[in-house]
Structure 1
Amino acid sequence: MDSIEIRSYSHCVRNHIVDSHVDEWRVRSANKQFLMAVIDTLQGDDGVGLTVEWLSDSQTLKDLEKDFLIATKMSELTADDHLSVRTSTETAGNTPTVLLSPEKAVSLLPVHGNEAVQIEITNEAVTERLWEKYDNEWEIAIPVSVDTPPYSRLLSLAEHNLGTDVKTDLDNAYGAIESRAPDDRPEPVTVGLLVGAKHDLLLRDVVEWAETSTLATQGTVSKLKQQLEDVGVVSTTSENIGVGRPRQRLTLAKETFESLSSDELVANVQSVLP
């Protein structure tokens, strides 16, 4: 046993994974706070050549995917091949958090909040045995795909389909709600509709963006648009294009909303949503 320290989860991830000369790491954990630190730290780093294989249990992954902003970062990392996720056939929740490479093993024992006792092992015989054990677990584990679209894809499609200003406002709005608890955030599609109304976009263009990015279906967009209309935040106007059905254009229902930035708009509207 080479060292024992108390460190934050983010420090552990940066020190042992991101800033390490080792490019192959395996993480076995059902600790949501630690796994969120892994996602945030990897997402904030260029991660060139770095791959993390993450073994967890299905319930922990489902809980993380309920948080849109965490899930979209996970999706980004998996799309860039920096993160590979599998669910264990065993109960990962009953084991301590372990960071493992062929050269080093780090066990984390929770202390309080986002801190843990960090036990680092570099004994070659021990690390080889541990790597072999977890390698076998990894091979029989079930690969997981993240259904939430990558964040960069949401923004790039918004820029391409809706315009640069819309893309910038979406980024600002999503960034503004990140610090809130998941239950206190509007739906990601609701944010898109609010930004769309701020820019007087056609509803069909917002629907196309949501469907192309796989963020939501037309039915979901329509339901959430109706919800915003019901609380008096968004309204639609019909435009006759001469052929086919009239198109609906999104607008903000109150003049007082028009002077608000996208993040201020989302913050104000959240208080009146059911």
Structure 2
Amino acid sequence: MADLLDREMGDIFVELFEETSEPILFVNPSQAQLEAAVVTASEFEDELPELRIIAASETLKTMADDFLIASETADLIHRDKLSLRTVDEVYRSSMVVMDDRIVTLVQFDRRIDGLQSDDGELVETARDSLMSAWEEGEEFTLRTPPISEVRETLEDEIGPQVEEDFTTVLTSLDEIRGGQGLDEVAISLLVAARNNILLYDISKWGEDVGLASKATFSRTKTRLEDLGILDTEKVPIDVGRPRLRLKLADESMTELPADEMIERLEEQM
């Protein structure tokens, strides 16, 4: 039996997650489909089945450049709820394979049209073939730290207000990518500056959690200073060179909510 599907991508995955406790195999997702699967899995409140994804390496590399999606993906991997593999051959169709059905997906913008089949012979053939491809695929290594670990360590090591500001900014943004704008390192520095945190403390935290190296934090701090967004002041210590306390160049920005502050600062870049 075949049924035509036509609905939002997230709704498709919610339905699939609710209907099985067995592993789900997702083959050749588009970038938007991969993002929808990760976001839906991250927000799913019931017991989540294991999600196994076979994707083109370029699709996974693009996903890894998006901090929000990559950190949520890392969280799912850390929970043993998701695994990623790449294959040399890229399949023509995007398919979801379950124990009792296959769903072939065709994407139009943010909607999915697809054909769902529960024909026993077809499902068995497809599952055997694609599970073999899964077993032969190469594991994709994600270097982004899990978002839950980022938030927990930020609260424990730097302070709850900094974590709250950081999380507020993250949830207000569609994506955070590296480049000339405000990436995750720049945002960490700016919410630290909003709370008068030492550069040493926030950069050590960032390196320890796997967000970026101390050198990256230092280079980003210099770039933000050159843009007239960030400032520092020297703080004497008992032994060694003074450390730098981060400050916003325009201290009136601290009166704004964290997400509005970041939005205003981005406009200055």
Partners of 2:163 and 2:14 lie apart in 1 by 30
Partners of 2:78 and 2:220 lie apart in 1 by 28
Partners of 2:110 and 2:79 lie apart in 1 by 27
Question: Aligned pairs, how many?
Answer: 269
SS at match of 2:19: coil
Partners of 1:40 and 1:226 lie apart in 2 by 34
TM superposition shift of 1:239: 1.3
SS at match of 1:3: strand
Contact 1:23 1:49 in 2 (8 A): no
Matched, 1:109 2:117: no
Give the aligned partner of residue 169 of structure 1. Answer: 165
Give the aligned partner of residue 138 of structure 1. Answer: 134
Contact 1:50 1:82 in 2 (8 A): yes
Deviation by residue 1:156-191 (Cα, 9 ceiling, x = unmatched): 110011111111111001111226898795110100
Change (3 A) 1:242 1:5: closer
SS at match of 1:244: coil
What letter is aligned with 2:138? I
TM superposition shift of 1:32: 0.9
Contact 1:89 1:140 in 2 (8 A): no
Change (3 A) 1:249 1:184: closer
Matched, 1:51 2:47: no
Matched, 1:270 2:269: no
Matched, 1:155 2:154: no
Partners of 1:228 and 1:184 lie apart in 2 by 10
With structure 2 as the length reference, what TM-score do the two structures score?
0.95
What letter is aligned with 1:106? V
TM superposition shift of 1:116: 2.0
Q: Please tell me the root mean square deviation across aligned C-alpha atoms, in Å.
A: 1.7
Contact 2:14 2:44 in 1 (8 A): no
Contact 2:68 2:176 in 1 (8 A): no
Give the aligned partner of residue 7 of structure 1. Answer: 7
Contact 1:7 1:118 in 2 (8 A): no
Give the aligned partner of residue 123 of structure 1. Answer: 119
Contact 1:10 1:41 in 2 (8 A): yes
- Runs of 4+ aligned structure 1 residues displaced above 6 Å come to 179-184
Change (3 A) 1:201 1:214: same
SS at match of 2:4: strand
Deviation by residue 1:51-95 (Cα, 9 ceiling, x = unmatched): 010000101111111111111111111111111100012124xx1
Partners of 1:248 and 1:180 lie apart in 2 by 26
Q: Which of 230, 234, 259 is matched with 2:230 structurally?
A: 234
The runs of 5 or more residues in structure 1 that have no matched partner are none
Q: Which of 192, 196, 205 is matched with 2:192 structurally?
A: 196
TM superposition shift of 1:33: 1.0
What letter is aligned with 1:32? Q
Percent identity (aligned): 25
Partners of 2:132 and 2:176 lie apart in 1 by 39
Deviation by residue 1:123-170 (Cα, 9 ceiling, x = unmatched): 111111111000110111001121111111111110011111111111
TM superposition shift of 1:258: 2.2
Change (3 A) 1:180 1:63: closer
Partners of 2:100 and 2:106 lie apart in 1 by 20
Q: Which of 158, 163, 182 is matched with 1:186 structurally?
A: 182
